[in-house]
Structure 1
């Protein structure tokens, strides 16, 4: 058993962990970054399924702090594919010498805070014990797969694969009967790819989703050159944009516009590609009337693309407002259902009743099956943290603390967990933003705070329960003003007592940055300074 000591332990070597590793080194902290996977890249290491790509354009989905690398890096497509994103992550680790701080194939089993020593004790799957003053979770919002188990699934002896953990050597489905469960972002990307080689592809769908064409294409040298000229201005603007990404918001209310002008604008965005259609007007996500007009536009497009009206009906969303479930972008998704070898099954009408050795059993019929693909989503925001046993100063685990829904301050800190910080945790813009912009803001804020604590000689710091409760209430209040409050999705977590917690912050990247900067400007007054060996119970009276 190895027992070592660092200033900071970082969990995860995706884009958040890489930047945290770099920043900590720049500020003179010793750190080690522990990564469960066999490579850096986080979600772009694990999600290797055919068709996997980012829904933010490649020129915008890069770090702003390594412009010298960006000047040399040449993205091949408008929307970056998984392989290129993974290569970019590796290039960052190479260029800035981060590998020495990164430990691959190392899963964190537990991290326990020791109040008497004001330190975290982290234990890994290899048996090593690492002591650190600070613990930073760079574990990602969408990195723990949702567990799925249907009756009789153990009887199926074909191949079962997850989009979130696709085999590195790929899966050959040529001539096979394949079923894909799930039509969220991963399913919508993988279905067209599998349909081209599978003998038969059955899409098992519970909830149809809104999807817009990506219009992906090779990047032109001229547009790359133009972006580089303007990159400093573009990146500064992104820091204050609601989404951290230029979605070309008109700032107008749809309901106030002439119908012909609305149709023209929505058509322009549909033809241009990407999810900018959802953000075209300021009232689409807050006014049912505006939302229905934009949703009808997409429904009409689905009917125009899909030849069979009955199939089009199955693919058309009716049970949620546009944008309240993550809107997807695709390449020939709806067109795929015109292929003779593709079928979509409505699981609400024909639920899965069981499995045979080489079949999936539905209500009333059996479908031959060789490969089952699970595109069933993630335990969003908290799944990767739940997988570990993170225990705070009062011996309560994070999992227990969040039984009634995740509670944080700024999505960064949790009361009862001193010197513990999260990057893009619940309560931050996270998945409602360009993650690269949010990651940089979080990392810089966290490292600046740690540096200030070092300068003032504080042993530990913990956000107060009062400030945490205020922030949770603010996040909920912002969400309640939108249509998100009326629909369930993976953005929502229900607590043990049935309470509903909306996890992302919808106030926008720019507003979040402003509020975070105010906290720093006040000298982090929302946080309690601890000096070992004070206990949490001693502090609860003073807070």
Structure 2
């Protein structure tokens, strides 16, 4: 395979043509595409013991996807789209992992994967145009290209709470649960956090625990998931029109079959607006977030109308008015934080064994004691602590790789004031490095498999073009990178997103530069796809090829 690469313009010498880091959706597709389409010698390194990525590590109670299952899958295997049967609208973690295991077996992916192997560093050799990749399991290897498929939410954020080391009970982060799960029966449990993960976990844990204390720093607006079995007739219709569905989600704003209403909130009567809101609420899923009126995320006045509807829903659901008020967000506009999908989340706070501790009203967590958590001067005895405190999003998984580019430049130094990329795919100073769904790409603002497939296809086509032209180095140009960074911030400046202290802004990590991490193309993922395709057709302007 290496000789084949040399004959097609890639100089001989490296152990591998491509090293891919991570074996989730991204890494699996990258291996399949680069190995089987281009005939390259590819190796995937994965810290876990099997494929799955997010769906290997996140096995907390209630973990499930929140995009509809019929589009939360690989679309490049058209026969599998017909053959695979999902059990629910939003399948749980074990089912998604079974799906990914099936794909790995079906396409013989594991033979080129090395599990239980963590990449500890990689450095670019300018003289040879090669990456040298080091792992915790043996000798370094060299590769022409390095592709990061580490995910956007994989570097855990474990808060530095005083006293955690002396806690006599057990504690877990939601992305590091034991394989066999945790038995909460008869236990006093604390969940720290109320983001999307916690919203899934809290109702399930509350059913098992003797007592559950939820520690909330910031309330979130939740909308119902409406999970359940999908009507067989609906499944059949979808399978009959998968070609059209794939085209629609690739061209849609968010990689889903949701489109904003092309009207202002104020273009319809209050009665009509209420009917529209009710329909979206009853439908469930992301409709209320990304299929709402077009000015919801740009106009404070329009946003207030939508938020008021959600506040009324919370008050109607939660029986104790004081608890309901604590669950209503006060510090951010609706939709400017990641939208959690709710399966009886608000109803859980009607249970007698559930206590909500709100940092703003009851006092923040002060320390972990030997027997529990102290917050606002009050001790809460617990046996198990679950940290649903999220991740160092988007940049964290990449800076953790200890990457060194030209001149020994460290990625964390290049990004000391925030990420700098071109298209969210490449980084100036780091030749032959491709970042799948990296910062400043649509990634987390879309249905992730759609964003992943677009990047993998683009990277594959780029390497194919390089081989055809006898090129062996590609690097983002600094000027193009600067222009892209300005564009990313300009497009978001007309929205309400920058006003929120969200992980989209890096605000959940102390000391992290405050900047919008993903990219919101005015024309959505479809517009971004078109932009990337045009760059390829024009011969990759903004990239230096050698």
Q: Give the alignment's TM-score, normalised by structure 2.
A: 0.95
8 Å Cα contact 1:182/1:205 also seen in 2: yes
- After TM superposition, list the pairs within 5 Å mapping 1:279-358 onto structure 2: 279=290, 280-349=292-361, 350-358=363-371
Where does residue 4 of structure 2 map in the other structure?
Answer: none
Match of 2:196 among 177, 185, 196: 185
8 Å Cα contact 2:364/2:375 also seen in 1: yes
Where does residue 227 of structure 1 map in the other structure?
Answer: 238
1:98 and 2:109 matched = yes
- After TM superposition, list the pairs within 5 Å mapping 1:440-519 onto structure 2: 440-493=453-506, 500-507=514-521, 508-519=524-535
Query: What secondary structure, in the 3-state scheme, does the structure 1 residue paired with 2:515 have?
Result: strand
- After TM superposition, list the pairs within 5 Å mapping 1:76-225 onto structure 2: 76-225=87-236
Where does residue 8 of structure 2 map in the other structure?
Answer: none
Query: What secondary structure, in the 3-state scheme, does the structure 1 residue paired with 2:251 have?
Result: coil
Cα distance in 2 for residues equivalent to 1:524 and 1:472: 18
Give the 3 Å change call, closer, same or farther, for CA 498–78 of structure 1 in structure 2.
closer
Long gaps (5+) in structure 1:
531-543
Query: What secondary structure, in the 3-state scheme, does the structure 2 residue paired with 1:427 have?
Result: coil
Q: Per-residue deviation at 1:124? A: 0.4
Cα distance in 1 for residues equivalent to 2:431 and 2:534: 21
Query: What secondary structure, in the 3-state scheme, does the structure 1 residue paired with 2:475 have?
Result: strand
Cα distance in 2 for residues equivalent to 1:392 and 1:255: 51
1:13 and 2:23 matched = yes
Match of 1:74 among 80, 85, 88: 85
Where does residue 32 of structure 2 map in the other structure?
Answer: 22
8 Å Cα contact 2:88/2:228 also seen in 1: yes
Cα distance in 1 for residues equivalent to 2:443 and 2:121: 25
Give the 3 Å change call, closer, same or farther, for CA 138–498 of structure 1 in structure 2.
closer
Cα distance in 2 for residues equivalent to 1:499 and 1:213: 33
Deviation per residue, 1:106-164 (Å, 9 max, x gap): 10000100001110000001123110000000110111111312112222110001111
Deviation per residue, 1:401-444 (Å, 9 max, x gap): 10010110110000000000000001110011011111100000
Q: Per-residue deviation at 1:496? A: 11
1:528 and 2:528 matched = no
Moved more, 299-308 or 120-129: 120-129
Cα distance in 2 for residues equivalent to 1:347 and 1:321: 19
Deviation per residue, 1:311-346 (Å, 9 max, x gap): 001111111011101111010000000000001001
Query: What secondary structure, in the 3-state scheme, does the structure 2 residue paired with 1:478 have?
Result: helix
Give the 3 Å change call, closer, same or farther, for CA 260–221 of structure 1 in structure 2.
same
Aligned residues: 528
Cα distance in 1 for residues equivalent to 2:422 and 2:200: 34
1:250 and 2:261 matched = yes
Deviation per residue, 1:10-53 (Å, 9 max, x gap): 00000010000000112111100000111111001100011001
Long gaps (5+) in structure 2:
1-12
8 Å Cα contact 2:365/2:374 also seen in 1: yes
Query: What secondary structure, in the 3-state scheme, does the structure 2 residue paired with 1:59 have?
Result: coil
Moved more, 351-360 or 104-113: 351-360
Give the 3 Å change call, closer, same or farther, for CA 234–443 of structure 1 in structure 2.
same
Q: Per-residue deviation at 1:252? A: 1.7
Cα distance in 2 for residues equivalent to 1:378 and 1:148: 10
Query: What secondary structure, in the 3-state scheme, does the structure 1 residue paired with 2:158 have?
Result: coil
Give the 3 Å change call, closer, same or farther, for CA 39–425 of structure 1 in structure 2.
same
Query: What secondary structure, in the 3-state scheme, does the structure 2 residue paired with 1:178 have?
Result: strand
Query: What secondary structure, in the 3-state scheme, does the structure 2 residue paired with 1:175 have?
Result: coil
Query: What secondary structure, in the 3-state scheme, does the structure 2 residue paired with 1:520 have?
Result: helix
8 Å Cα contact 1:403/1:496 also seen in 2: no
Cα distance in 1 for residues equivalent to 2:190 and 2:339: 23
Cα distance in 1 for residues equivalent to 2:514 and 2:164: 31
Cα distance in 2 for residues equivalent to 1:413 and 1:124: 22
Q: Per-residue deviation at 1:225? A: 0.6
Cα distance in 2 for residues equivalent to 1:76 and 1:498: 40
Match of 1:37 among 37, 48, 53: 48
CA RMSD for the aligned pairs?
Answer: 1.5
Cα distance in 2 for residues equivalent to 1:71 and 1:293: 42
Cα distance in 2 for residues equivalent to 1:61 and 1:201: 32
Cα distance in 2 for residues equivalent to 1:308 and 1:446: 53
Cα distance in 1 for residues equivalent to 2:367 and 2:529: 49
Cα distance in 1 for residues equivalent to 2:266 and 2:138: 61
8 Å Cα contact 1:163/1:375 also seen in 2: yes
Q: Per-residue deviation at 1:500? A: 3.6
Q: Give the alignment's TM-score, normalised by structure 1.
A: 0.95
Cα distance in 2 for residues equivalent to 1:45 and 1:36: 10
1:403 and 2:416 matched = yes
Moved more, 498-507 or 153-162: 498-507
Query: What secondary structure, in the 3-state scheme, does the structure 1 residue paired with 2:62 have?
Result: coil
Query: What secondary structure, in the 3-state scheme, does the structure 1 residue paired with 2:18 have?
Result: strand
8 Å Cα contact 2:252/2:258 also seen in 1: no
Where does residue 269 of structure 1 map in the other structure?
Answer: 280
Cα distance in 2 for residues equivalent to 1:79 and 1:391: 40
